[in-house]
C-alpha cells in the first residue's frame, strides 16, 4: 500500500469517527478532509477543487431556490386540507398523505415539502382528535421514496447524475428514468403502512400537540430580590395551578426541593423550575417578581411587544452542535435567545446555558417577530413554527410558480433544454415574475451543503486515485465470488449503513468510486451499480439522522430513536429487496 493510500485511509477513518460521534458537523469535517488531502499532497489543487465545478452543484442550488419559491407562494396549500378531508381511520388517512407527498417530492426538494406538511397535519390531527405521531413518520418516508422517482427529486440523485457526467451511461438517463424503480418503491411504502406499518407507529404526543405534556420544556425563573413574590407562599403567589406548566422543583440556597408544597415560602433569588408547554414562557412573564433565571444569557434588546416564541430543530450540520448554549453565542449570531431545549420530547434538567446542543434538539426561542422571515432558510436549524402567530402564504403567485415548474418539466422531458440550462432558466423566471425575492433566493441556497458536496467529491476522488476503491471492490468481489447480483446486494447494504451513520450525500460520494471499480472488475455496465447507490443513499428508514426529513418530524411526533428502527426495519428490507431485484432488470449488467 502506498503512502498516499495510507494517508487517505487515516483521513477517511478520522472523518467517519468524527461524523458518527457528532463532534463536528459533517460539512466542516468534509472540508477538513479535503484540506488534509491537499496539504498532504495526496491531491493537487486542481484535483481537490474539481468537485466544485460539477454541474450537479449548480442544479442543486437552483432547486433550493425553486423549492423556496413554491413554499413561499403557498402553492401547496391550495388543496391539502381539502384532500385530507374529514376524520378517517389512520390506515385510510396515511395513503391520503403519502401519495401527494411522494408526488410533490418527486419534483420539489423533500425538505420544504415536509416543512409545509408538518403544521398542516398537526392542525388536521388536532381537529379530528388523531395523534400526529401516527402520520408524521409516514410523511417523512413518503417524501424520501417520492424523491427517488426523478433525477431532480433529491440532491442525492442530482449529485449522482453530476458524477456520471462524461460517461456513456449518463446519456441513458432521462428525468423520469428512476421512476421505473422509484414508483414501485412508493407503492410498497404505502401498502406497508396501510397493512402493517400503522400498527407499529407509536401513539405519542409531539412538541406541538395541545395537551399539558405535549411539548415538554423546562423554564427556570428567579424570585426577584425584594420583588412582589418574595416572602409569599407558592399558593398565595398563584403558582399552584398554571394553565401551561407546573412547578417541578425549587432551588433555594443550594438546596433542591423536588416536590414543592403549596405552603413553601419563596425567598429572594430562589430558582423555580417549571415544566410544560412553550406558552408557559408568556404565562410566567406575567408574574411580577419573577425574572428569567439566567438573565445575561437570555437578555434580548427587543421590546416585548415585538417578540415572538419560536420552535426550531437543530440541523445535523449546525455550528451549534457540540457547544453549550452559552458558548454558542446564539444571541449575537441570530438575534434571539434559547429559552429551553427539548430532546426526544423530554426536557433537559440543567441550566440552559450549560446544555450541550445536539442535532435533533428542539429549541424554544424568543426573538423579534421578523426572526422566522430572516432565518427561514438558515441551515443551522429547521424552523417549525412561530407559536404566537401563523404565517399566511401569498397565494396570488401560486399559479405562476406551478405553471413555470410545469413548463420546466416539459422542456427537460422533451429534451428541448439540458437539465442545468432549464434549471437556471426556471430560477430566472421565478425571480422575474416575483414568485421569490432576491433576498429569499439568496437565503434559500444551502451553501454549507454545496461546500460539503464539493469537499466530499475530493475525498471520493482520492479513494479512486490511490486505488483504495479498487481494493474495496476486490474485497466485495471476494465475498460475492464474482457474482454481479451478490456484488450489487453488498454495495446496497454498505451504502445504506453509511447513509444511516453519516448523510445521504456523503454516502453517495464515498460509494461512487466503489461502483466504478466494481464495474471495471466485473466488466459490467456502470449504470446498475450507480443506480443502486442512488436508491440506497436515500433509503434511510432506521435512524432520525440519516435523512433530514426524519430529523424534522422527530420533535413534532415526539419520536424516540428506537421508533424509527421498529417502524423502518421491515420497510428497509422490502425496499432493499425490490431495488436489488429490479435494478438489474431495468439496467442490465
The residues pairing with 242 across neighbouring beta strands, listed in sequence order, are: none
In a domain, 298, yes or no: yes
Q: Are residues 186 and 281 in the same domain?
A: no
Element (H, E) at 249: strand 245-252
Residue that is last in its domain, among 344, 368, 386: 386
Q: Do residue 475 and residue 523 come from a single domain?
A: yes
DSSP string, 83-151: HH-S---HHHHHHHHHHHHHHHHTTS-HHHHHHHHHHHHHHHHHHTT--GGGTHHHHHHHHHHHHTTST
Looking at residue 208, its pLDDT comes to 46
What tens digit of pLDDT does each residue of 23-64 get? 777 778 888 989 999 999 988 998 889 888 878 788 878 877
What's residue 72's pLDDT? 67
Residue 391 has pLDDT above 60, yes or no: no
Whether residues 133 and 241 fall in one domain: no
**87 pLDDT more than 60:** no
Q: What is the pLDDT of residue 213?
A: 42
Note down the domain range covering 364: 217-386
Residue 564: how many CA atoms within 13 Å on its side-chain side? Answer: 26
pLDDT winner (highest mean) among 37-51, 170-184, 251-265, 568-582: 568-582
Q: Compare 232 and 280 and report the one with higher pLDDT.
A: 232
Per-residue pLDDT of 456-491, as tens digits, reads 788 878 887 888 777 777 777 777 777 888 889 989
Where a domain ends, among 386, 409, 440? 386
398 domain-assigned: no
User: pLDDT over 90 for what percent of the chain?
Assistant: 15
| CATH number of residue 357's parent domain | 3.30.70.1450
Spatial distance between the Cα atoms of 459 and 391, rounded to a whole number of angstroms: 41
Mind spelling out the 3-state secondary structure of 521-545? HHCCCCHHHHHHHHHHCCCCCCCCC
The domain boundary, picked from 386, 407, 433, lies at 386
Domain for residue 409, yes or no? no
Number of domains in the chain: 2
Residues 265 and 317 in one domain: yes
CA distance 282 to 287: 10
Give domain status of residue 429, yes or no. yes
Looking at the structure, do residues 221 and 203 belong to the same domain, yes or no?
no
Element (H, E) at 257: strand 255-257
Higher pLDDT, 165 or 305: 165
Q: Given this model, what pLDDT does residue 305 score? A: 45
Residues 372, 332 share a domain:
yes
Instruction: Sheet with 346-347: list strands edge to edge.
Output: 346-347, 336-343, 362-368, 307-314, 381-386
Q: What is the pLDDT of residue 184?
A: 96
In-domain check, residue 250: yes
Q: How many Cβ atoms from other residues are within 10 Å of residue 327's Cβ?
A: 13
Pair (11, 136) in one structural domain? yes
Amino acid at each position: 500500500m502506498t503512502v498516499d493510500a495510507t494517508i487517505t485511509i487515516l483521513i477517511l477513518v478520522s472523518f467517519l469517527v468524527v461524523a458518527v460521534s457528532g463532534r463536528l458537523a459533517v460539512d466542516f469535517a468534509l472540508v477538513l478532509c479535503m484540506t488534509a488531502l491537499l496539504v498532504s499532497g495526496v491531491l493537487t489543487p486542481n484535483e481537490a477543487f474539481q468537485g466544485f465545478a460539477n454541474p450537479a452543484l449548480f442544479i442543486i442550488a437552483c432547486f433550493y431556490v425553486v423549492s423556496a419559491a413554491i413554499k413561499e407562494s403557498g402553492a401547496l396549500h391550495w388543496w391539502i386540507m381539502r384532500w385530507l378531508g374529514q376524520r378517517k381511520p389512520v390506515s385510510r388517512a396515511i395513503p391520503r398523505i403519502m401519495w401527494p407527498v411522494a408526488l410533490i417530492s418527486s419534483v420539489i426538494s423533500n425538505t420544504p415539502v415536509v416543512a409545509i406538511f408538518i403544521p398542516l397535519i398537526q392542525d388536521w390531527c388536532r381537529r379530528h382528535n388523531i395523534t400526529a405521531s401516527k402520520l408524521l413518520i409516514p410523511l417523512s418516508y413518503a417524501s424520501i421514496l417520492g424523491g427517488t422517482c426523478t433525477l431532480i427529486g433529491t440532491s442525492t440523485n442530482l449529485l449522482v447524475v453530476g458524477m456520471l457526467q462524461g460517461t456513456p451511461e449518463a446519456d441513458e438517463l432521462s428525468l423520469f428514468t428512476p421512476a421505473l424503480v422509484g414508483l414501485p418503491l412508493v407503492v410498497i411504502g404505502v401498502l406497508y403502512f396501510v397493512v402493517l406499518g400503522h400498527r407499529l407507529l407509536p401513539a405519542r404526543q409531539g412538541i406541538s400537540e395541545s395537551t399539558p405534556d405535549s411539548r415538554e420544556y423546562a423554564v427556570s425563573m428567579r424570585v426577584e430580590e425584594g420583588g412582589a413574590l418574595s416572602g409569599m407562599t407558592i399558593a398565595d403567589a398563584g403558582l399552584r395551578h398554571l394553565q401551561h406548566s407546573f412547578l417541578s422543583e425549587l432551588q433555594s440556597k443550594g438546596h433542591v426541593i423536588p416536590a414543592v408544597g403549596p405552603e413553601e415560602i419563596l425567598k429572594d433569588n430562589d430558582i423555580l423550575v417549571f415544566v410544560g408547554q412553550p406558552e408557559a414562557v408568556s404565562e410566567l412573564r406575567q408574574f411580577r417578581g419573577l425574572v428569567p433565571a439566567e438573565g445575561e444569557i437570555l437578555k434580548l434588546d427587543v421590546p416585548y411587544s415585538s417578540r415572538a416564541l419560536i420552535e426550531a430543530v437543530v440541523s445535523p450540520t449546525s455550528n451549534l452542535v457540540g457547544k453549550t448554549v452559552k458558548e454558542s453565542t446564539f444571541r449575537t449570531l441570530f438575534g434571539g435567545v434559547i429559552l429551553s431545549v427539548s430532546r426526544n420530547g423530554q426536557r433537559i434538567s440543567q441550566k440552559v446555558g450549560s446544555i450541550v446542543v445536539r442535532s435533533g434538539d428542539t429549541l424554544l426561542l424568543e426573538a423579534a417577530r421578523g426572526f422566522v422571515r430572516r432565518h427561514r432558510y438558515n441551515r443551522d436549524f429547521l424552523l417549525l413554527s412561530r407559536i404566537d402567530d401563523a404565517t399566511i402564504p401569498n397565494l396570488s403567485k401560486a399559479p405562476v410558480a406551478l405553471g413555470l415548474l410545469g413548463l420546466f418539466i416539459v422542456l427537460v422531458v422533451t429534451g428541448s433544454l439540458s437539465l442545468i440550462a432549464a434549471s437556471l432558466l426556471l430560477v430566472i423566471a421565478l425571480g422575474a415574475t416575483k414568485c421569490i425575492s432576491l433576498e429569499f433566493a439568496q437565503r434559500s441556497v444551502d451553501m454549507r451543503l454545496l461546500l460539503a458536496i464539493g469537499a466530499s467529491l475530493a475525498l471520493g476522488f482520492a479513494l479512486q486515485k490511490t486505488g483504495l476503491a479498487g481494493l474495496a471492490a476486490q474485497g466485495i468481489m471476494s465475498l460475492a465470488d464474482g457474482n454481479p447480483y451478490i456484488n450489487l446486494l453488498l454495495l446496497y447494504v454498505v451504502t445504506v449503513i453509511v447513509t444511516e451513520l453519516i448523510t445521504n450525500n456523503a454516502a453517495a460520494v464515498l460509494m461512487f468510486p466503489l461502483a466504478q471499480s466494481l464495474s471495471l472488475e466485473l466488466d459490467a455496465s456502470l449504470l446498475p451499480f450507480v443506480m443502486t447507490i442512488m436508491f440506497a443513499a436515500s433509503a434511510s428508514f432506521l435512524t432520525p439522522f440519516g435523512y433530514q426529513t426524519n430529523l424534522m418530524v422527530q420533535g413534532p411526533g415526539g419520536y424516540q430513536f428506537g421508533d424509527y428502527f421498529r417502524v423502518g426495519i421491515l420497510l428497509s428490507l422490502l425496499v432493499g429487496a425490490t431495488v436489488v431485484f429490479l435494478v438489474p432488470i431495468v439496467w442490465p449488467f
